[in-house]
Amino acid sequence: MARTDDPVALNEWYAVETLSDVTASPRRTRLLGQDLLLYREDGALRVQELDTAGRPGKALPTRERYGCVWTSLGMPSREIFEIPEASEPDRRFVICGWVKMRTSAPRMIENFLDMAHFPYVHNDILGAEPHTEVPGYESEIRRDVDEVWATNCRFFQPRIAVTESSGDFVKLTYRVPSPFAVMLYRVCPSVPSRLDAIAMFIQPIEEELCRAQPVMFLVDTKSAHNDLLKFEQVIFLQDRIVVENQRPLRLPLEPRAEIPTRADSSSVAYRRWLKEKGLRYGTIAGSL
């Protein structure tokens, strides 16, 4: 597929590779239908477009943030969003590895926001029967920062963290700081005054093919690194089965296209936000 001409998608920042994997040996990747070349030259990070013959061309802007290489095919109007927890020196930083999915980036964001699937897809981890009801919560588009937030979310989880073996109702907060990134904040079981932060950065390869990088900023001094990785990777691989089977693969933005329930409040706000922005990439503007 050809590179998109959607200006909203072009002017966003994207995580496209794990920072530690980019060396002097060139690596290829693809973003929004455009092939890219990534490498280091004299220690400096370089990202270039590749033409149809595979020849390097235009140099793209680069950033090194949150363990990833970030770039843009356009001219972003603002910097990459801030994650304050990333600057707290006592947190565990866990980069979980890329997971590729045959779906659109907005569908992946929506699945991340969905608490209703926890008992069915992540049984005995993030949810369990008979605790299937999603209590009411608040969703909003925060105009001052141009982000979507869902607050006062509560859900019963049989394992609230790697360090815990018993279940409880957990308070969750969701944040969508970019159309292609999403975050979850949850109370840390060992330090209730602080929040663990989990982010998912999405690289849309094509409209219906993308990959995601989960990263975690945790207040956890006990868990082994591999246990933290396994916990998160199991969840994302379970999600993969569900997300890749959703139809249509692109996210419909018209309210009548898919009938929401009370539990879908955050998804409704996210779709409204994308529609206001005029995002076309990975979405369906009209009714099905």
Residue 247 banded pLDDT, cuts 50, 70, 90: confident
Share of the chain above pLDDT 90, in %: 60
Q: Is the dihedral of CA 165, 241, 140, 259 positive or negative?
A: negative
Query: Which residues partner with 168 through β-bridges?
Result: 157
Domain 7-71, what architecture?
A: Single Sheet (2.20)
Give residue 288's pLDDT: 40
Q: Is the dihedral of CA 118, 119, 122, 127 positive or negative?
A: positive
Q: Which residues contact 72 (CB under 8 A, 6 or more apart)?
A: 10, 11, 12, 13, 14, 60, 61
Give residue 161's pLDDT: 57
Which tens digits make up the pLDDT trace of 159-200? Answer: 555 555 566 678 889 999 999 999 999 888 778 788 999 999
Give residue 122's pLDDT: 44
Q: What residue segments make up the domains of the chain, in order of their start?
A: 7-71, 91-284
Does domain 91-284 fall under CATH 3.90.1150.10? My reply is no
Pick left, alpha or beta for residue 192 (phi over 0 → left; psi -120 to 50 → alpha; otherwise beta).
alpha
Which tens digits make up the pLDDT trace of 95-111? Answer: 999 999 999 999 999 98
Q: Is the pLDDT of residue 155 over 50?
A: yes
Q: Is the pLDDT of residue 25 over 50?
A: yes
Which tens digits make up the pLDDT trace of 197-225? Answer: 999 999 999 999 999 999 999 988 778 88
Residue 2 banded pLDDT, cuts 50, 70, 90: confident
Residue 246 banded pLDDT, cuts 50, 70, 90: confident
Average pLDDT, the chain: 86
Q: Is the pTM of this model over 0.75?
A: yes
Residue 269 banded pLDDT, cuts 50, 70, 90: very high
Which of 30-34, 199-203, 284-288 bottoms out in mean pLDDT, i.e. has the lowest? 284-288
